[in-house]
Chains A and B, each alone.
Chain A
Amino acid sequence: MKEKIIDRGHYVAAPTPEGAVVVPVGQRLSLCDALSGPHAFVLEAGASLDLCLLAFPGSSTGTELTVDLVGEGAEASLSGLYVCKEGEFSLKVIVRHRVGGCVSNQLFKGIVTGSARAAFDGRIIVAPDAQKTKAYQTDHNLLLGVDARAETRPQLEIYADDVECSHGATVGRLDESGQFYMQSRGIPEREARVLQMISFLSPVLEHVPEERREEVAARIEQTVRSL
């Protein structure tokens, strides 16, 4: 019991990082970019954040996102894709529900190929008394090639009891039945792989602002074709 109290103090009362972007009461902030390096946000009551991370090869070696939900009714939607060909990429996400009645959604998808290493470390923290919190987190990775490595560590720390939280993480390979289905229609193996990669990343595309979707879809296609 004593340990748990120390934990609470440690995580929940952790200070908001300096230089955090404050999204004021009822305002909305939308970002869609490589977002390399550390980024912190504070969401006041009724504020919303739509963030979409686009980490294409060479554009970033890592991102660290910290989101503090400090006012009731705040909503954070964090999504993103990372495509890694070589070197290391790390994505660290901390979402702190400091008050109740807020929603956070996370959806990340990564393709890791060649000799690349990717690590996802995601933590959702729900403070004591932050009741009626809804927090979800998903991280899926597609591994291509025998030397590629992906590590995913989803974590929930919940100190309130009336909450709805879930997390899911996978590391997998291309679906063989889909591959065969396409080949049986005359689509060559390589092209079938390209379509499957586009298919895998497509749920993230839905989080890209509509006016940029076409451009990002083209970038995705160009990127997966080069893998």
Chain B
Amino acid sequence: MTDDNILLDIRGLHASIGDKEILKGIDMTIRKGEVHAVMGPNGAGKSTLSAVLVGRPDYTVTAGTVTFLGRDLLSLSPEERSWAGLFLSFQYPIEIPGVSITNFMKAAVNARRKAQGLEDLKPSEFIKLMKEKMALVQMKGEFAKREVNVGFSGGEKKRNEIFQMAMLEPTLSILDETDSGLDVDALRIVADGVNALRSPEKSAIVITHYQRLLEYIVPDVVHVLKDGRFVKTGGRELVDFIDRNGYDGF
């Protein structure tokens, strides 16, 4: 493990919710700049994998290790994982009535700056950053004043997730079923936003049931997750194979 290009390294990961084991031994290595797709049928453990990586408290890791940029990821709190450069685009974003997008993002951006030993962003700089990132997902000016996810359509919620991702500039982004419930236009906006953030230093895990999103965000590596294990890992040709044959063949 002296490869400097390794961003995330998962070894023998087992995780449970309550007494039920969901992940039954996951191995995964993501290098800088790579996009990995995790595909699988409902109930395979896709969302559990993302939840465990960002430290959702209702899941228990029972075995295995996760190393992120050389650090033991599992020992970090959810906010520390965010500061380290990890981001999850939620499948079901949470509503926070009474808290504006502006105040929410200000708290997030400045908390990370504080963790990095930096001063709060100046209000003028913050507003400029907001505008720039809102444009990326085609959000209009009044969006900044709206309460977080309150009264948002499905497409707006997902665009808001990608907006937050753009604001926080994560090193590793996890998109959990970001395509679910999106029409073609919203899907394109989301995918364009994600693609605009790609760089040789940044990586992503795209979790999805369908091949649709992967037509826009082209993966380097595809994993097929079934019953808590990767049953197949390959290149992008796997996406077409699944499209034609479904998951039964694995």
Contact = CB atoms under 8 A, between A and B. Distances in A.
A202 B107 CA distance: 18
Interface stretch (B2-10, B94-102, B127-135, B213-221): B94-102
Interface residues of B, number: 30
Interface stretch (A73-81, A127-135, A186-194): A186-194
A114 interface: no
A187 B98 contact: no
A181 B94 CA distance: 7
Contact of A178 (B94, B107, B109, B111): B94
Nearest to B167: A185
Given A183-B78, A185-B82, A186-B111, A203 B97 contact: yes
Contacts of A47: none
B111 A187 contact: yes
Interface in B86-113: 87-88, 90, 93-99, 103-104, 107-109, 111-112
Contacts of B81: 184
Contacts of A181: 90, 93-94, 96
B54 to A, nearest CB: 5
B115 interface: yes
A7 to B, nearest CB: 39
A180 B78 contact: yes
B18 interface: no
A177 B94 CA distance: 7
A9 B169 CA distance: 68
Nearest to A220: B98
A186 B108 contact: yes
Nearest to A201: B98
B200 interface: no
A186 B83 contact: yes
Contacts of B87: 184
B168 interface: yes
Given A186-B79, A203-B98, A176 B57 contact: yes
Given A195-B99, A203-B97, A187 B90 contact: no
Secondary structure at the A interface, as helix, strand, loop or mixed, is: helix
B164 interface: yes
A199 B82 CA distance: 22
A191 B108 CA distance: 10
B195 interface: no
B248 to A, nearest CB: 34
A205 interface: yes
Given A184-B88, A186-B79, A195 B94 contact: no
A183 B83 CA distance: 10
B57 A187 contact: no
A200 interface: yes
Contact of B97 (A183, A184, A187, A199): A199
A13 B77 CA distance: 60
A182 interface: yes
B88 A198 contact: no
A198 B88 CA distance: 25
A184 B82 contact: yes
B54 A182 contact: no
A152 interface: no
Given A180-B56, A180-B57, A198-B99, A185 B108 contact: yes
Nearest to A197: B98
Given A180-B57, A195-B99, A187 B94 contact: no
Interface centre among A177, A184, A191, A196, by most chain B C-beta atoms within 10 angstroms, is: A184
Given A180-B56, A180-B57, A181-B90, A199 B111 contact: no
B109 to A, nearest CB: 8
Given A182-B104, A186-B115, 7 more contacts: A176-B57, A180-B57, A182-B108, A184-B82, A186-B168, A195-B104, A202-B97
Interface of A: 176-178, 180-189, 191, 195-196, 198-203, 205
Nearest first, the 9 closest Cβ-Cβ pairs linking A and B are A202-B98, A186-B82, A199-B98, A183-B78, A181-B94, A185-B108, A186-B112, A183-B79, A187-B107
